[in-house]
Structure 1
């Protein structure tokens, strides 16, 4: 089979998979999971035909895929990839570009530069900020914190690149008591011992309490949240960031999904966020781009470029070349699907999608309260935090809903007790789907109350 025929076969199989979205199980059943045993084989001595490789992947793999692009998927703030973003990614893969610099890929450099400009406009962040397109909020947070530490030490006259950390002034980190695990992972990987990271107390809604903010100084990296992972709440940036800036601290915003509220009528939730030094967000969450697309945004473009610089004698590039704004030297053009999503949606499309999901989250909350559930959060965004009368019921209902194949959402723990979290973030989800979710959960609550 020649290359073009093989790719046409792949496209046909992909189209068949997408045609079943909304009809298949959201989570695979036992038979589909058992079918994954087909991949357990020795490394072949002689290679298989390309068509056979694709056949196995589709016939044994597709049934076992979680339908996270299904309108009934409500887990982990995963948005279904927009058609324009998916199509752009397919064309980008055909180009097969190393998107490190203009010399390697003029088209990637040009489109990603435009995507960066549009992101700053959509989020109304300082227009001269640097935007690096990375793999995930985890990697992008690592990049932002590395740049922050280097910049704070430089202000003290310390040559981080030359002398490293041995003997350097200690840079402190203050994070929310409910800081996301990806922020903690980035800190741990960078060598900030978790026993030395200071946690800021939160209020009943999961927001950092300004009245109990730990001391900050000019060797502090202060991490705040736009969208707490359970409640969807926002730290009070308007109160916290001025305190931090007055102390000389670097403020980093973990905005994996919540920062997109800033592109909608929910902008008031983000008041003061523009005063921070760096921000991270995912494309594959609320912007609904394919996975493996996130952003580091840094007010001080030169600081980010200096921290991530990877110029070599055989490969030098502009300060805003993506290889100088990210961990990767060789990289795919992750900003292209983000550009495609923004061009297809436009400013009004982003706003309407965010606002629709927030309204649907409120609709779910109202329905579940009426059914007898305890909704634990104020539902200010797209997150609904839910509990039944007992912990046992909460767990049993969540497992039964998952096993039904009709919906999927995940477990969580809130204030020491089990709960489940419903996230609305897919462009495919309409009111019919949220009403079916409420109906199913009402039936399950009645069953487990008997």
Structure 2
């Protein structure tokens, strides 16, 4: 596991450096002038609207410090652990200072004391997380490929942890009653549901709630796999209820959060349907559902493509002429993650997650097709990724002709990685389910 932490630490380090200097608009600054500017970088009085950007710098350095600390390995000597922690702390702080200095040469990047404080806080949190919970987290990751009960427990813990962490990003909590009042006066939070917002964008609203259900299906399925638990369906719905209540209460205190009571029902439904679907799957003979996979994939292909078309505004968007689309293409920047810099951290994460969700079904479809032929990895993951990228090219081309959309070539790269990764993961999961009868004690366990 230490080896994988080293790989992840190097990759994430490259990501931090790259993401901190995008869009790479280099301008020459004399060395002495740059030093003078850096000595006098300001401390900015940030309002609540800028809090998310500041917190994003904290979040950026937490994984960096955690991964490099974990990459040092399981050292039991207190003195060696202290020395390793001190080394990682110094290196992360030097990196933060170095990047902030380099940003003087890459406007419109901004440099401030606030960023250095945030990056220092993130480094300390990452180191503390590694020292306190690092062994437990790495142990859970070690259990994942073992294909037995420990894998299920590890998956449940990691899945719900990731779910909660992503749900509350960018962690821009209000810090006073005045900020809370301002947030609530925005009118985005509702006891049940915002019918006005849904009436204006019915499809997007339906997709949002559908995604909330789908995201918790795996958690419900994993809960079903736990033995010696009676009333699994009731327990799953109850977990979904408390998870929904907790999430929506926290959303009230997030400046960028939107709390709706209806989301509690979607989480309950997602957990419950996950249990029901897994129960049905285990009660069927392999040949029963295996021969239905190909027709299922074929029947859902056209609705999926139509949904992709509608989500991207093709149904009610204002279409442009070929000449205007060509002009938009000429103005498009192809640098990876270029447009992520010109938006907020919240919207950037939403865009990333949306694209992952949009192209993940491609990998799943190929994986189900492989299972129907009883051959794992029938297709190369590269070809599956290229299929995802091909669809992304069509989607981004569609955006060229829509007045209120702009294409982002980074989405094509995300589509490739998402389709390829989901294809490998679904094959792994289906192989695990079909081969590991020990999880349920070689018998079907009722959910009632």
Higher strand share: 1
Greater helix content:
2
The TM-score normalised by the length of structure 1 is 0.25
Higher RCO, 1 vs 2 (CA within 8 Å, ≥6 residues apart): 1
TM-score (norm 2): 0.25
